[in-house]
């Protein structure tokens, strides 16, 4: 079904995910890393239909909250193939993960290790190393930086690893998201190499996710990784790479305001897609079924903030109210980061499968806004 027909059938704003595109990305990952075990980072896109496709493709899931854990179990990921990570891991989340018998846990701090060692259980543990480097990405996404809250500094990693005793299975590093440069991994491998000398029985390495979209040199990265990892067990946690490019946000133009900057006001904005406002992200935007000489415009949302925009200084053919725009590469961290700011209603989600479109999440209604309120 064409995007225009999707917008007409289901309204706007609407997120559209091409499930066959997701499968194709999984295929590319598997060809580059035939030996790796991928755990999809659910935070990128937790839509049930997307998760079920990834279950069918035999992936694991990386989760960081009780909500993500519940979604992963509901979608059918086997608990053995669920990896719990992240800074939370408080008593409630630890209990939920234990009850679910998750296969893997990434320990993010000494305090978490203490929490977990008080519990029996069969999960295997990884210690997340913070390599304290500059992964050359947006500062919000640089989780491997010395100043970031993630992981354990190199100097303390051995101590945390020792606390875990024979439940220590390996080490974990996730240097950041939207990573384009491979050089940082030289330092990562140097530090991991030293840990492996100290813990020679450890056979598992989790190198996280973070592969940039578009254009991550996955095959070159795989070669570099293979040279270091050798015959050890390799886990990966891709999120964006698997789903971003298969997602499109469709929005309808409400008004066009001429002026020194021409503003195109749309029915989607920062409540629906936060990435441009939060990271200055630039998503490709095109007008459906429009041709003509390009003009430079700002593509704005309907709310009362300057940051409420989808794109700044974008080239579009002449457009007017009622025209449709397609915001590309929005299958990751799109709806998953949406909000109800200004009592905005969350958009619908539609999947494309074998050429057909299917509504998988209804658009919120105004009644949903106060459904949980009590007088």
- Contact residues for ligand LLP (CB under 6 A)? 41, 44, 62, 85, 141, 143, 174, 177-178, 208-211, 237-241, 275, 279, 332-333, 337
Nearer to ligand LLP, 45 or 344 (CB): 45
**String of b and e for 214-246 (b: at least 16 CB within 10 Å)?**
eebebeebbeebeebbeeeebbbbbbbbbbbbb
Pick 62 or 300: Cβ nearer ligand LLP: 62
* CB neighbour class for 253 (10 Å; exposed up to 12, middle 13-18, buried from 19): buried
Nearer to ligand LLP, 171 or 241 (CB): 241
Residue 71 Cα distances to 13, 55, 202, 334, angstroms = 24, 12, 31, 17
Question: Which one is catalytic: 47, 115, 266, 304?
Answer: 304
Q: Are 26 and 57 in contact (CB under 8 A)?
A: yes
C-beta of residue 257 within 8 angstroms of C-beta of residue 2: no
Comparison of 253 and 338: residue with beta carbon closer to ligand LLP? 338
Distance of closest approach, residue 294 Cβ to ligand LLP, in angstroms:
27
In the complex, minimum distance from the CB of residue 73 to ligand LLP, in angstroms, rounded to a whole number: 19
Q: Please state the closest distance from residue 12 (CB atom) to ligand LLP, in A.
A: 22
Q: State which residue, 79 or 210, has the beta carbon closest to ligand LLP.
A: 210
Report the C-alpha gap between 33 and 84 in whole angstroms: 22
Between 77 and 211, whose beta carbon lies closer to ligand LLP? 211
Q: How far is the CB of 213 from ligand LLP (least distance, A)?
A: 8
Residues 6+ apart with CB under 8 A from 270: 276, 277, 301, 303, 305, 307, 308, 309, 339, 341
- DSSP secondary-structure letter at 327? E
Distance of CA 13 to the CA centre of its chain: 21
Report in angstroms how near the CB of residue 206 gets to ligand LLP at its nearest: 8
Is there a catalytic annotation at residue 115? no
Closest CA to 233 of 259, 209, 262, 206: 206
25-59 burial, b if ≥16 CB within 10 A, otherwise e?
bbeebeebbeebbbbbbbbbbbbebbbbbbbebeb
The residues near 306 (Cβ < 8 Å, ≥ 6 apart) are none
Least distance from ligand LLP to the Cβ atom of residue 141, Å: 6
Select 199 or 279, whichever has its Cβ closest to ligand LLP. Answer: 279
Please give the backbone phi and psi of residue 29, each rounded to the nearest 5 degrees, phi first: -65, -45
Rounded CA gap, 102 and 124, in Å?
9
Q: For the CB of residue 260, give the shortest distance to ligand LLP in the complex, in Å.
A: 31
Q: Are 195 and 161 in contact (CB under 8 A)?
A: yes
Give the whole-angstrom CA distance, residue 317 versus residue 296.
9
Please give the positions annotated as active site.
Answer: 304
């Amino acid at each position: 079904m064409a995007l225009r027909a999707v917008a007409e059938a289901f309204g706007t704003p609407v997120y559209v995910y091409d499930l066959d595109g997701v499968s194709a990305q999984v295929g590319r990952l598997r060809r580059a890393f035939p030996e790796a075990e991928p755990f999809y980072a659910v935070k990128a896109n937790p839509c049930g239909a997307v998760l079920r496709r990834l279950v069918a493709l035999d992936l694991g899931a990386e989760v960081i909250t009780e909500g993500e854990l519940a979604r992963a179990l509901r979608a059918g990921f086997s608990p053995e193939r669920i990896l719990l990570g992240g800074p939370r891991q408080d008593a409630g989340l630890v209990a939920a993960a234990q009850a679910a018998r998750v296969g893997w846990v990434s320990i993010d701090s000494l305090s978490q290790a203490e929490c977990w060692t008080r519990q029996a259980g069969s999960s295997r543990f990884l210690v997340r190393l913070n390599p304290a480097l500059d992964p050359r990405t947006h500062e919000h996404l640089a989780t491997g930086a010395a100043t970031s809250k993630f992981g354990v500094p190199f100097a303390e990693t051995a101590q945390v690893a020792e606390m875990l005793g024979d439940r220590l299975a390996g080490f974990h590093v996730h240097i950041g998201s939207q990573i384009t440069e491979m050089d940082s991994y030289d330092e990562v491998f140097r530090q991991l190499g030293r840990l492996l000398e100290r813990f020679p029985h450890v056979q598992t390495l989790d190198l996280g996710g973070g592969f940039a979209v578009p254009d991550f040199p996955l095959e070159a990265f795989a070669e570099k990784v293979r040279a270091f990892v050798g015959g050890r067990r390799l886990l990966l946690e891709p999120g964006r790479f698997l789903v971003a490019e298969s997602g499109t946000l469709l929005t309808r133009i409400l008004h066009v305001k001429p002026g020194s900057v021409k503003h195109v006001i749309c029915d989607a904005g920062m409540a629906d897609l936060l990435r441009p406002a939060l990271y200055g992200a630039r998503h490709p935007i095109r007008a459906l079924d429009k041709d003509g000489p390009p003009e430079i415009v700002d593509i704005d949302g309907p709310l009362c903030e300057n940051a409420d925009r989808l794109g700044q200084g974008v080239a579009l053919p002449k457009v007017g109210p009622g025209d449709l725009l397609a915001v590309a590469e929005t299958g990751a961290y799109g709806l998953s980061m949406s909000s109800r700011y200004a009592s905005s209603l969350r958009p619908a989600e539609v999947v494309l499968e074998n050429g057909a479109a299917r509504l998988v999440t209804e658009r919120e209604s105004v009644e949903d806004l106060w459904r949980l309120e009590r007088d």
